Every structure is written in structure tokens, then in C-alpha cells.
Chain A
Amino acid sequence: LGLALYAGSLCAVSGAVFLYHDYCVIGAGPAGLQAAYFLQQAGRDYIVFERSHAPGSFFALYPRHRKLISINKQYTGKSNSEFNLRHDWNSLLSHDRRLLFRHYSRDFFPNADTMVRYLEDFASLLKLRIQYNTAIIHVTLEKNEQAWNGHYFLLTDQDRKNYKCSSLLVAAGMWVPNVVNFPGSEYVEGYETVSINPEDFAGQTVLILGRGNSAFETAENILGVTNFIHMVSRSRVRLSWATHYVGDLRAINNGLLDTYQLKSLDGLLEGDLEDLAIVKDKKGKLHITLRFYLENRNISAGIDSITLPQDELDNFATRAPYDRVIRCLGWKFDFSIYNRSLRMMPGKGNIKKYPQIKPSYESRGTRGLFVLGTASHSVDFRKSAGGFIHGFRYTTRAVHRLLENRHHGVPWPSTIYPITQLTNSIIKRVNEASGLYQMFSVLADIILLRENATAFEYLEEYPIGVLAELEMQTGRKARSGLFVIIMEYGRNFSGADKDVFYYNRAVGEAQHAWQSNFLHPVIYYYKHLPTEREMGLRPPDWPLPRPDAIHHIVEDFLTDWTAPNAHILPLRRFLENCLSTDLRNFFAESCFLFTFTHQKLPPFCQQGYVRMQGLLGSQELRHHAVQAGLLQDYTHTDFSGDRPHDSHDGSQEQLMRDHAIPVRPLQHLVNAKDE
């Protein structure tokens, strides 16, 4: 194996020559580069295959009109680099601060050429090992008991060169255009090739098939010069600000919605493209009809013999003939290069364009094959950001961590903290973590409690779909319960038909936090790691099974969850009640009193004061605490040593009252229970 670890080792198996690497990555797009970065950082033996001569070849062509719709926010008012990634949708993750997209473009919606340049820099500055001009045309398996996964992956490129790998990371993207076949589809132009010069459309009437961002982007480009544009697709328009899904129609492209609703001739129609038929008349105009009318006809007989819908229904909507029909139906995964033995199957239903994968991003058909990048979006299609750079940069890191644990015995990175840091560590993460924020409801921070809840272990951005396998996948133990921290939108808030601007859509009070609509942190508490079965039986639309307790931190207009009373206090109470302990902070003076009056100390005193790290506090602070009734000031106690008599009553009463304070909340709780 020592030999095999070196890049480019040669293996000769049954005559063919194989170049061996532990990891092969197909595609040097954003996901492939991101994966390469982590493999390189970990010192792994890997190679990236790229069919083009440069990284990011998809972006060299697409989007056709060159405007990326991923935001590139220059300013957030904060210097926190992790937080700022929440509003940087283009950068890949790296330690190199030069490789932030805002250094490449000042545009809020940057040009696609900038992305190409960025990816080139990313590959070269980080010296990633990429083999360009290598198109993998076939992938097959070779059974071998010695191999990590019981088999090797054998890859063949266009020059019949062969490569062998233990683990295959498919970051090939989605680049095969979706094509619909119907009578007359030969008259349809594809998004891939259609002219992007508006002048070519001057005075024309255009029909666009599809209703995604590429369709609207195309329409937007020619909106001003056409007679009118009609768009047809099966489903209604889905606006990203209503669905909270970045893949739906973004406001930057929706000019046609405006002209449609303001009756400026453009329009949207719903209909199944499969039922469609297009016939061309003698003048070259394209007429819409239905497949139904063509069934018994001979098309070659000419347009005159074909029934058009308007012949029967003289106000048929698309009775006007079109000059051009453009297909903008998106892309699908290239399944063709995988040998059947890999069982790379398309998903079912609306995710059929994606290969079938598990929530761990591993192929359902082949162990050791992971799908990265936009092709891995089936895990969170129409939910989160896993199909986009700002989402899959985190899922790629998660896959890398899974692999590190599986093949190299490097457990999932974690930090161990004393229990007194529990509230803090959660507050810190929900306020700055970008992975949790972008990959909401998909990646979760996990807190594994140590015995007796005196300490905990913090794991970042674990894919919750495989929560049940946590111990096996991370090499960490969940013996004494765990917290799962994710971000969620309100369950019924988002949707194509939802009014997301209704009055009182935002919740302000902590006690109603569970009704929060906008993205907010949610903490699940489990006494035991949920089992596979429990994961399977989770309520529909729930990312996780029923917890033993749950806490919502109330949504915040500024997404700043650091308010002491509205955010931190309810969270602390939740954690305290889950752990059955008191997580308050105390000044050293209180700890001193507790030391002499209680056999047990609260964690803050136990882990701080007793270890000579007590919080003495400044004079002003202690004074404030006294004023708040949370700390007793004994300095003014007149104490002459004789028995307190009536003259003493004032101070005596004061003393007695206040002396009860440090324990009063507890007594109070006990009393409440009794009642």
C-alpha cells in the first residue's frame, strides 16, 4: 500500500496499464476543485480529471447570457469571515484569503467569465492536481477483496488510457440538456445554441419552453425587442422569494412576469410539453397544436390538412403563430459513462435528472462512489442549497470528513468543551456558521454529551440524513445524549402559492419561537441517538425524528441571535432542563458562599471558581447584580455582635430576605412542583 499511495503508481492488471490513485475526482468544476482542495490539505493521493483544458468549463458556456445569479455581497458591516460566507455564494472554501470572490468581482451578480477566472486561480494557487483534456468515457468496477470498498474503480479516458482508484468522487455536474420530443420538435432551438444577440429577435414572436431561470434569463434578454414572448411549461411559476429555494425563479430574471401581469402582450401558459405539437406553415411561421390532432394525420400532407385548436376553439390562447420556439429545460446528469455494474440509477419523480444517492452522498448502487456538487442535489432538491456552490462547498467538506474517518482513521473533527460553554458554543455557531445557514435542514452541528454532562464534544456540519450512523461515520461516541442544531424555515411558510408578505409573518416573542417563519436555529435533544428505523418514521417534512425536547430560537430580523433575554436565556433554560442542571454564571462571591453552604456546586463554580478561575467582577457589575436582586450585598450589615433587637429590624429583615435569594429560584421550583 505504501507504494500505491504515491501518485502515478503503475499497476498492470490483465495486460492493461492502470494509473493508480486512492481518489479519483471526475470534473474540475467548483465541486471537483473543492474536493481536490480538501484531499490536498489532508495529504491524500488524488487526481482530478477534466475533459476541458481548464477548470469550470460549464461556466465557460453557461449561463448563456453570462450573468450569474449567485450573489456576491461586498459589504455586510461585519468582519467575521465565517459570517460573511453566508452572503458570498460564489467562493469556494479554502484557507487562502485571496480566494474570496469579492476580490474578483465588484458586481452583485457577477459575470460568468469571472467565475471561470476564479476557478482557474483556485486550481493554480492551491496547486491542485488536475489532469486536463481527459474525458472519462467509461467507468467500471474491478472486484478486489483488498480494496477499500471491495472493488476498485477502473476509468477509461477518450484516449483509452486507464486509471484505477479506490474511491471515486463524481463531480461531473449536470450538463446534458433536457430535450423533449414531440411532433415538430425539430423546429425548436436549444438554450445551448440560441443566439444571445437581442437584435436577432427584433420584431419576432417567441415561444419559450420551460420556466426555470434559464428560460426567464433568455426572455429577459429579448424582452424589449420581440413582439411578444409566451412561455409554456407544465408547472406554475415558482418564485424563489416565495419558496426560499435559490433554484426557483429569481427576482433578477423575472421581468416577464411584470409585462405579463401588466398586460404588455407577454404571457405565461401551463401545459404538458408532451402533448404539444408544432407545425410550420409555408411562411415559416410555427403554429402550436396538440399531438392529439396529429395522431391520424400525415404531417407531410402539409399544414392545411392539420386541425389547429383554433379551428374548433376560435379564442385558443396560442393561436397566433410564432417565429421561434426556444427550449430552456435545464440539464441532467450524464449516466452514459457508468458501467451497469455500478448501478448508477436515475432518481424517481422530480429528481430523475439526478443519480440516486444516500444522504451521505454515496451512490445507492456502489460503495465508495460519492456524488458531489450539483449532481448531488437530489438530497435536498427544492429545499436547500446543495445544488449550488454556496451549498455544495459544505457538503463536499462533509463527504471529505466521512472519507477521512472511513479510510484513514481520522475521526470527524471535534472540540471538547466544559459544560459551562454549552450555551456559548451554540450561540457562537448559530450566529456565524455559514454551513448551517446555507445548508439549512441538511447539515447540522452535533453536540455529543459526555457522561454526567460535565463536558461535551462539538461536531460541525454533519449531514443529518445519516444521523443514525453517526458513531460509525464520525468515529465519535454518542453515549449520553446529544443535541442537533439546525436552521429551519417555518414549516408552512414557503411554497410557490404562499403569500410570504402577509401581516405578522414574523414572530418577535421567544415564547412563540416555534412559530417562527424565517430561517432560525432549532435545537433537537435526543437522549439516545435515533435509530435508522426512527429516522425512517420521522414525520413528513421533518428533517429529524421526534426529539425528547426541542427548542426554537426565535427568528431575528437581523439574523443576530445574541440578545441576552430573547435568545440566550430561553436557550439556556432549554439546555438546563435537558441536562437537569443549572447553567447560570456566578460571580466568585456567590461561588464562595455556595462552597460553604452547599455540598455540590453549580457547574460554573465547579469548573471555574474551584479551579481558581472565578469571576471576581468589577465593583460596578457586582453593584448592578445587587440592584437586580441577584446578588446579596453584605457590606452594609451592621454587625456589632449582640442580638438583633427592634432597633435592628431593618437591616435584619433585609439580611434575611436577601440571604434567601441565592437559593430562592430552586425553592421556588420545588414549591411549584409540590403544588
Chain B
Amino acid sequence: MSAQKDRWVSSLVFLLFCASSIPRSGSVGLQQEPSPQHYFSGLEAGRASLAFFTPSVPPGAQPFLEQIESSAEALQDYGISVVKVNCPKEDVSRYCGKENALRKAFLFRGNRLIREFPTDALFDVNSIVANVLFALLFNEVKYVETLADLENIENVLKGKSNMVFAYVPATGTAEHRAVMEAAFVYGTIHQFVLTTEAALLKATSHDDPDVSSAWLLFCHCQRATEPAQPCRRTALAQPLTLLNIHRHLKLMGAPLVTEVAEDPEKISTVHLQLGLPLVFILSQKETYEADRRTAEFVAWQLLGKAGVALLSRDLVDLNVLHRSNVALKTPDEGMPIQYLVLEDTDEVITLVEDKNKVKQIQEDEQEEEEEDEKENSNQDIQDDQVVEAVSRDKKRELPLEQILVLTEENFHSSLSEAARTVVLFYASWEAVSLAVLRSYSEVAAHLKGTPGVLLSRVNCWDWPGLCSQENVTQFPTIKIYKEGQQSVTYDGMWGTEELSSFILLSRVSCPLKLATMDEAEGYLRGEFPSELSSHHHTSLLGVFSTATSEAREAFEEAGNVLSGRVRMGMYFEDDALALSQKYSVSPPALLLARSGGRSVEGIALSKRSAQDMVQMIRYELLDVFPEITVPNLPQYLQLGKPFLILFSAGDISQIESKEMLKLAKGRPQQAFVACWLNLKKTPVGHGILKMYFSTTPSLPVLLWVNLHAGGQVFKFPSEQSITEMNILSWLEKLQAGLEIPSSALSEEDWKPPLPAYDFLQMMEPSVPELSPHTSPHPGETPAQHPPSSPGGASAGGDTAIREEASQESTAEEVGSPGRDLRGTAPRLAARDKQGKRHSEL
């Protein structure tokens, strides 16, 4: 960033050299002349000077004089001297004698008077500079009042030179000055045209312009040959300042399309130097003409926003995908060139415009950050979202009345009070615990009045013995204690809904033994047991003949493992065979009733271990074409397969859903997870799309995401409709390596977000014996600082520390001892008196 700014500065040096408004130290400033005679005799031919005449005692034109004096330096840069001529009392000449002449300033070139200004037109430095230059550049800057005048000038210029047309709301403004200063430099190259007529502004811009702000157009008349056509115009999008005008003119002067035949990484153009991106249109010999036209078209669109280069692939050996047609190089150093496959020129333009916006924002932010860094580094600013959220929430009192507080004293007695006791073990200082406690309080509100369930909590910071006795080693932990049974540890998502559902399901034993056929049928319909009737989940029923005890035991064991997570029942009465045959399986079998028993699926249970059975049940519970949400993603992640995911702005259409379902069902042992994401329900999906595509693609968009291997992201062509056939053939191409990934998952490691305080290094000066040479192996000195921040970062840190130390020692000198409470407790702001402390002792 800074390097880029350097370029900026250097490219402007010549401008500043002649047009600087920055005051120079020891500047020439205002000249004084003792008398008019003296002044006129000293005037050089061709040199301009602004003079004002004043009696020895000025009659109250003091503010004007101040402005004049301060503009002297600015005008000096344009070779215009500002002279204050003293009028002797007896002088009655033209300039001194008349009373009103004393209220005017006079502009001379040589000794010829060019213009006289009433002092009220010279109200400040801007107006003085603007008016003086305007007068001097009378030929270079045309003032127009009507559209006809403008068109006349334009027509004259066509094919010869370009025109800069500026509208300023009034003369003497800062914008006016900027235009005049630019005209001083560029006046010989371009024709400058100025107006203050709002009507003209309206005629030259398309939509309703704001007449109170200035406006500048660059008219490409040099290229215009058609007399009937107006010249192409490029407006300056930034505010009218000298720098912006200069930048704009510089960009307009650059070639429209640069032809490039070398490594694009090495290319540098005016655009890149001015901090704008450069778009490469990748061309081939065969399509050169068309590509050139495209490039020119794009270049006109992007004029002033980005540069366009035509890169011939035949001449440069590019190691990029054959299909790539556009490349984007950003001015940020170290940023690799992006190669893209874009479908139309609009995409190129949108891409660049969005990039610029981001950059603008980042620049702003970066500036803010840089300012921050000067004051203190961000090391001590919390960057853990959970910790920060919890500490921001700490003043809110949690509704915990529903939750019983357990202690070492009442723990065991309380457990026997309810059929089931849910215990949250947490630490009151730990952020994740406290976050879960908040969800837990919501669960308590949700389950209020549910019979047989007691919600309680144990603060392990108060009762460490109890927590270790209950084998709680991590915070938070939730256990459900049932009388006379082993406790169950919750291992699901820390969310209100998930936890509530777990607690509700835990009320019923798992698996639930069903005694009659009616119960079994009711169970499959979701009507039995009544506790769970409000719970809409897939029901599992194990059906066993009395003989198959081995499978039954495994099933029961699996039930223990899955307790609270799955609704499981089992039936092993004499008529089990009849029940299973209804669903065309024979026991041992598993009946799966999805969505309230509307469809029941029978699966034969071959001999399996309990563990296999858990695996199988988990797998069977997964949807074929699920809607991916934040809580359910991990279940599908565990399959370890790539995702074929349809991002949809809302619910997906019936057709798409049908096609996708067909696709997903088509192959039972899918090599991928077909799923969809509802951006309304899972808005974080926007974040994903933003990361994949700088611009948001049109929705719905179907993506192939290789989550586990390689991390490429492929986008299903938007012009094709989402049908099973299309997707299959696309997938085939994809598998064959014929498709180009649109994006890739970042390979970045999760490094420490910021460096730590390097106490070892801070201690060294005060504890010399700690320095490495006393360590046994001087050769292999251990890294002074944790491995992740070698070089620059820690060096930066050093200087910061040193600076601080010096500040401290000065603070110490002025610090007055003996303030109240000082020294009796840790100071709130311990800035002073840190430095010398230990050496004093």
C-alpha cells in the first residue's frame, strides 16, 4: 500500500513543483514596494504581478490583506508575484490617488494592466488564485455560456485535440481554482472549457445532476472524426481536486488498450501505478480482431476505473486454464493475478467496479488501522467472537430461576428428586460455558412445566471436587442423570433446540420396548408414546423374533449409545414376524418411519455389532437430498464426500427439487452429497458465495465443492437448466478434468491472529544473565519469539517497545508521587514509572 502511494507521490512531483499550494518554509511571500514609481520601474516584460496599493495606514482592508498575503506563496508557484505598493501621502496618481482604487487589486503582465479585481471578489486564497489564473489563462480556458458555444468548440477540436469541460457552481471556489491550476499545466495540451451555467451541466450529463457540485468531463475529440457525432466523454467520478484532475487527465492520456506480449506479472502501467486494476483480455491469434474489439469496448467502459491490456496467449506461455479469457491484476503488491472465465463484458465491468469498491473500503479501513497501530497494537483487543460476545452480555441478568443450583452438599439429594436431572457443569469465568448457559436458560424456559425433568447446574469454579468426582474435565459438560442408571453425557450441538430435543427424547428409554402390535403401529405413526407425540423425527423400530437375541442385544446397546439422539423402539413379541412382513422384511429387521409414518421403510438387520448398528442407524437417518443448515452440516461432513450443493435464495422450486432428488436417489452409493442451501434460512451462505465469486452469481446456483480433497469449487453453467441429465453430463466432464474450477478453498493454516507480548525479549536488558550466550548452546539459540512471527513483525514490535520505554522514562520525570491510592493497588493506568522500577531496587 505504501509503496503504491510512493509512486503516486513521485508521479506528481512535477505538478507539485510548479503548482504546489503547500507553503514552503522561508518562502518569498509578499513583496513590498515603497512607492508606485518604484514598482512600475521594476516590472519585467512578460512577468505577471498582482499589485494593490495602500496608503501607509490601511483603512480597514485588513482581512483582504491577510488573504492576499497568504495567496502570495501559492501565486509564486505560477511565477506571479504579489506586491504591496505603499502610497505616499502626497501621491495622487491613478492607482494611489483615487479612493476606490485602494479597494482593488491590479493584475499586470509586464507593465500592461490585464485586469482589476474588486477586493470583494478576492475573498480567500482559492478565489485569488482562481481569478488571477483565470485572467491570465484567458486564451487557454474558454468560458462558455450556451450549449451552442460548447458544441462549436467541440466541432472545431474534432480530430485535433481533446477537450476538458468543467462546470463549477461559481467562480472563485476551490473547484474553480483546481480547474485553473490544472489548466495552467495542461492548457497547452487540451482545450479547457469552463462554465458556471447549470443549464449546460444538465445538457451534458445524463441524469439529474447536482448543480451545487462541480463536474468535469474529458471529451475525446481527438479521436472523433464524425462531425455529426459528439465526442466521447468520460466524467471524473471523484471530487474536483487538483490531484484528482491530474490523475484523470493522466489516465485519459494513456493508451486505450495496451498490447502486451510478456509475463503479465511483470507488466506495470499507468493504471497500476495510480492504484487502479489492470484487466487483461486473453487473446489468441485466431480471434485477435474480435478480442481487440472486445478489449476496446471494455476499455471505453472502464475508462478511468481500470486499464485494459490485450495479452496474446501465443506469445506468452501462460500456465493457466485454457478456458480462461480474462485476467485481473490488482495494484496491491503480492496479490497474484486472477485468471477468470467470464461470459460477457458486463461481468468484466462488474468485477472491476466491485473490486474498486472493496479496495476503497479496505483503504479506508487500513488507514484507520494504521492510525490505531500508531497508538497501540491490536494485541490487547479481544478478537475472540465468543469471549467478546459473552463479555458484552455480562450485564444482562440471565433468567435462571428455572435452573436449580447444585452444590457439593445438595448434589446427590437433588438427583433423587426428579426422574431425570439434567446437570450443566460449567465454569463461571469461561466464555463458552457462559454462552451455553444462555442457551440452557432458553431450554429451561422452553421445557418449563415438562414433568419428570429437572434442570440444574453446577459451577465448577465453586465446586471443583464435585466436578472431578463426576468426571467433568471440560467446560461445559451436560449430563443427564436417571435414577438408578448411568448418567448420559450430551454430545450434540450447543444449541437451544438441539438440547431441548435431546432432553425430551431422553425421557423415554432407548430403545423403548413395545408390548403390543397396536403400540408398535402407533409408534411408527408417531402417536406413541404420548410424551414424544409433539416430536417430529424419524422413528426407528427394531423388530426381532424371540430367537434373535444376539441382534436384539446389539440393538439395545446401540440404543444406549444413541439415547437422546434417536427415537428408537423395539418389538419382539410373538407376532413380530407378522409386523415385519407388513413391510416385506423378516426379523431381525429395522423399520424406519420417516415424517410421521407416512412412509415406512424396512431394512433387514444382518448380524452386526452394536457399533456397526450405531453407524448404520446414523447413516440411515441422513436425508437423501437434505437442506444443509448450520447445525446439520457436520452429520453430512462425516461422510467425507464432495458436496453438490444448490444455493437458493429461498425455497427451491419443485422442478429443481425433483431433478436433484432424482439425481441423489439415482445412485444409492453416491460419491457425493447432494444437498441444497436456503439463503434465507442460512444467510451465512451469502458469505460462502462471496468468498467463491467476488460478485454474487445469479441464483439458484449449483456448485460442486470438493471439501475434503483439493478444495476446488466448480460452478454449474448458469445457462443450462438444472436437470438430472445436464448435471450428470457436467459431472462427467468435471470428473474428466474438463471443467475449470471457479474458485478454491483457502489452503491457509490457522496461524495465531496476532503476536504475543515478547516478555523474554523485554526481560533481557534487565536480566543480563538471561541473554542467550549463557545458554548452553549458543549456536542453536532458541527463537526469541514464537515461530509464527519471524522477521518484520517482531522487529516492528521491538521498536514499539523501545518507544514506549522512552515515553515512560519521560513520564517518570514529570510524574508526581503520592496520589491517592497509588501504589496500594494495581494502578488502572500504569503508564508511568514502569521503566526503571526494577533497577531501582
Contacts and interface: CB of A to CB of B under 8 A. Distances in A.
Interface in A498-513: 498, 501-513
B671 interface: no
A486 to B, nearest CB: 14
B430 A424 contact: yes
B334 A80 contact: no
A290 B746 CA distance: 85
Contacts of B390: 564, 621, 624
A615 B390 CA distance: 13
A593 B687 contact: yes
Nearest to A620: B393
Nearest to B464: A82
Given A552-B759, A615-B494, A675-B796, A504 B833 contact: yes
A652 B772 CA distance: 53
A625 B465 contact: no
A614 interface: yes
B513 interface: no
A537 interface: yes
Contacts of A580: 749, 751-752, 786-788
Contacts of B389: 587, 617, 621-622, 624-625, 628, 630-631
Given A415-B473, A593-B684, A673 B707 contact: no
A428 interface: yes
Contact of B385 (A490, A620, A625): A625
A159 interface: no
A666 B748 contact: yes
B792 A672 contact: yes
Interface in B749-802: 749-760, 762-763, 767, 769-770, 772, 774-776, 782-783, 785-793, 796
B463 A79 contact: yes
B792 A674 contact: yes
Interface stretch (B37-45, B522-530, B693-701, B722-730): B693-701
A1 B788 CA distance: 54
Nearest to B437: A618
Contact of A600 (B378, B430, B750, B823): B750
A569 B380 contact: yes
B750 to A, nearest CB: 4
Contact of A588 (B382, B461, B495): B495
B698 A508 contact: no
Interface string A308-352: 000000000000000000000000000000000000000000000
A502 B823 contact: yes
A634 B750 CA distance: 23
Interface string B341-377: 0000010001000100110011001000100000000
Contacts of B837: 504, 515
A663 interface: yes
B721 to A, nearest CB: 16
Interface in B716-752: 745-752
Given A507-B826, A577-B788, A609-B634, A618 B750 contact: no
A251 B630 CA distance: 62
Interface in A563-598: 564-565, 568-570, 572-574, 576-578, 580-590, 592-593, 595-598
A321 to B, nearest CB: 42
A421 B823 CA distance: 35
A593 B745 CA distance: 11
A674 to B, nearest CB: 6
A562 B782 contact: no
Given A508-B829, A573-B752, A637 B683 contact: yes
Interface string A419-432: 00100100110011
Contacts of A507: 826, 830, 834
Contact of B684 (A514, A546, A589): A589
A582 B749 CA distance: 9
A511 B369 CA distance: 20
Interface residues of A, number: 137
Interface in B810-841: 817-818, 822-823, 825-834, 837-838, 841
Nearest to A590: B385
Contacts of A669: 751-755, 789, 793
Contact of A616 (B494, B684, B763, B782): B494
A79 B407 contact: yes
Nearest to A534: B776
B677 to A, nearest CB: 9
Q: Which of A597, A633, A660 has the most CB of B within 10 A?
A: A597
B492 A628 contact: no
B498 interface: yes
Contacts of B498: 616
B789 A634 contact: no
Given A504-B833, A617-B435, A584 B631 contact: no
Interface stretch (A31-39, A127-135, A204-212, A639-647): A639-647
Contacts of A525: 786
A437 to B, nearest CB: 14
A664 to B, nearest CB: 9
B439 A527 contact: no
B387 A564 contact: yes
B438 A620 contact: yes
A431 B384 CA distance: 21
Nearest to B388: A628
Contacts of B746: 597-599, 663
A78 B407 CA distance: 12
A496 B373 CA distance: 43
B431 interface: yes
A182 interface: no
A299 B791 CA distance: 78
A315 to B, nearest CB: 36
A533 interface: yes
A540 B769 CA distance: 8
B748 A616 contact: no
A533 B776 contact: yes
A673 B746 CA distance: 19
Contact of A568 (B387, B711, B788): B387
A595 B747 CA distance: 12
Nearest to B632: A612
B776 A504 contact: no
B838 A585 contact: no
Contacts of A614: 493-495, 630-631, 634
Interface string A529-566: 00101100101101001111111101111000010110
B462 A632 contact: no
Nearest to B808: A512
A43 interface: no
Nearest to A615: B494
B442 A618 contact: yes
Given A578-B786, A590-B385, 5 more contacts: A417-B473, A547-B782, A574-B756, A584-B383, A630-B384
Interface of B: 2, 334, 346, 350, 354, 357-358, 361-362, 365, 369, 378-380, 382-393, 396, 407-408, 427, 429-432, 435-436, 438-439, 442, 461-465, 473-475, 491-496, 498, 630-631, 633-635, 637, 649, 679, 682-688, 690-692, 695-696, 698-699, 705, 707, 711, 745-760, 762-763, 767, 769-770, 772, 774-776, 782-783, 785-793, 796, 817-818, 822-823, 825-834, 837-838, 841
28 contacts: A505-B823, A506-B826, A513-B757, A514-B763, A515-B837, A527-B782, A534-B776, A546-B775, A564-B391, A570-B380, A572-B384, A573-B752, A585-B384, A595-B637, A598-B746, A598-B747, A600-B747, A615-B494, A617-B389, A618-B439, A625-B389, A631-B389, A639-B696, A644-B695, A652-B354, A657-B361, A657-B365, A675-B796
Interface of A: 78-82, 415, 417-418, 421, 424, 427-428, 431-432, 490-493, 498, 501-515, 525, 527, 531, 533-534, 537, 539-540, 542, 545-552, 554-557, 562, 564-565, 568-570, 572-574, 576-578, 580-590, 592-593, 595-603, 609-618, 620-622, 624-625, 627-628, 630-635, 637, 639-644, 649, 652-653, 655-657, 659-660, 662-663, 665-666, 668-669, 672-675
